[in-house]
Amino acid sequence: MKKTTNNIFHQAGFSLVELMVGLVIGLVATVVIMQTFASFEGTKRSTTGIADAQTNGSIALFTIQRELQSAGYGMPLMSGTMPTIDVLPNEMTFEDYTGKTEAEILTAQAALLAAYEAKVAAGAVKVQAGEVFSALRCDSTSTLALDLDGDPTTADVTIGLNALVTPVTITDGVNGDSIAIRYGTTTRGALPTAVTNVTPPNFVGVRNNMGCRAGDVVLVTKEVKSSTACVATKLTAATTNALLEATPNEINVLSNSGMAVGDRLACLGQVRQITFDVNGNQLRRNNTPVISDIVNLQAQYGVSATINSEIVAEWRDATGAWATPNVANRNRIKAVRLAVVARNSLLEKEVVSQACTGTATGPARVCAWGADVNLAGTDVGADWNRYRYRVYEVVVPLRNILAATPQL
């Protein structure tokens, strides 16, 4: 009988050293993967944040620009009134030269021609001089309480007449500038009509009421060659007809004090004042936040050399004499230049932005019109340079004012 021998097979695993080496390799790979992921995620957040800033900035700029284009609408900026011209008779006159010499006939013809040319010249002078009742010439300290925001639940705001007829007002603020834009809501363009009768305390006869509605703001202007005074009041219900079509030649107002026959009356509809500013890193419209991560708003007046010029000669901040422009300077404002600073909300670990005067190139420099934008003292805070920004600029012509320029 054979004896069999049982073979014993030894099973061997990883040694402790091999396990430790494997763990180290795994940890290194994990660290590399996590660093790559973190870097990618940071780049993605920065890119996404910049995209959001670009969207917010462009929408903010468009929102303000759209309102600015309506500045001055509904105001009687142009008289709409041609001067009265002597009409030459549409007839032929035959002169009797019987028995007159040639010299006498020539003398008579020369006299008739001179008289005709004198009438034409007189008419041309009247057309050139014209009658201007533009509200831009108004210079009055009177006030009027108005519902400027269109919200009946809020209290009316008392506004000065000079401010009422000023299409745009820029005010310096902590987070940049604020812009107040004013216009009327009338659908008739605020065409003025002549005042034909004034009976105290509130009756006004007019040539035509031009579709005035009860509750409209009424602005009365005078021929500016003799007076820059204006009168503002509200139209009350003269009849039960809201359009006053039953009595087209008369209206009732709160007070007709200061009005006179020959003045020009215009119904502005409801006057609105839209104010844009930045607070809490948000663009606000009439104190209501509308767009987030807008950290600064800059605005300047585009000023012409003279009131009747349409060419912008210089840009002015709303400081010094331009903080409250007088009538002459107000009428030189032909455009507004805007700069909106939008922020990426991601706070970076290092400095990524600097002032316009810094040494960096590209979007790292925060500039508006080639100059610094001070963000250190705004709501962004002391770490303002650890955020990324985009600045959007635009020039908005005040087209309603430009249309009135030739009459100023």
Domain limits for position 214:
136-166+186-267
3-state secondary structure of 344: coil
**What is the spatial distance between Cα 394 and Cα 68, in angstroms, rounded to a whole number?**
11
How confident is the model over 312-340, as a mean pLDDT? Answer: 94
Q: What's the pLDDT at 380?
A: 87
Q: Is 127 within 8 Å of 81 (Cβ atoms)?
A: no
One-letter identity of residue 75? M
In a domain, 343, yes or no: yes
- Alpha-carbon torsion angle 350, 354, 359, 360, nearest 10: 60
Shared-domain flag, residues 142 and 252:
yes
Beta bridge partners of 205: 197, 250
* Neighbour count for residue 14 (Cβ, 10 Å): 10
- Give the global pTM: 0.76
One-letter identity of residue 178? S
Shared-domain flag, residues 229 and 307:
no
Shared-domain flag, residues 150 and 254:
yes
Q: Is 73 within 8 Å of 182 (Cβ atoms)?
A: no
Shared-domain flag, residues 375 and 259:
no
Q: Say whether pLDDT at 84 is over 80.
A: no
Q: How confident is the model at residue 87 (pLDDT cuts 50, 70, 90)?
A: low
Q: Say whether pLDDT at 5 is over 60.
A: no
Q: Is 256 within 8 Å of 206 (Cβ atoms)?
A: no
- Largest interatomic CA distance in the chain: 182
What's the per-residue H, E or C state across 150-197?
CCCCCCCEEEEHHHHCCCEEEEEECCEEEEEEEECCCCCCCCCEEEEE
pLDDT higher for 4 or 280? 280
Shared-domain flag, residues 148 and 263:
yes
Shared-domain flag, residues 147 and 247:
yes
11 burial (CB, 10 Å; 0-12 / 13-18 / 19+) is exposed
* Cα–Cα distances in angstroms (integers) from residue 382 to residues 170, 277, 375, 376, in the given order: 26, 21, 8, 5
Q: What's the pLDDT at 218?
A: 92
Q: Is 194 within 8 Å of 201 (Cβ atoms)?
A: no
Q: What's the pLDDT at 81?
A: 46
Q: What's the pLDDT at 35?
A: 78
Q: What's the pLDDT at 44?
A: 57
How confident is the model over 384-407, as a mean pLDDT? Answer: 87
Shared-domain flag, residues 304 and 200:
no
Shared-domain flag, residues 262 and 308:
no
In a domain, 76, yes or no: no
How confident is the model over 264-283, as a mean pLDDT? Answer: 93
How confident is the model over 19-23, as a mean pLDDT? Answer: 83
Domain edge (last residue) among 232, 267, 302:
267
Q: What's the pLDDT at 120?
A: 64
Q: Say whether pLDDT at 225 is over 80.
A: no
pLDDT higher for 63 or 85? 63
Shared-domain flag, residues 341 and 253:
no
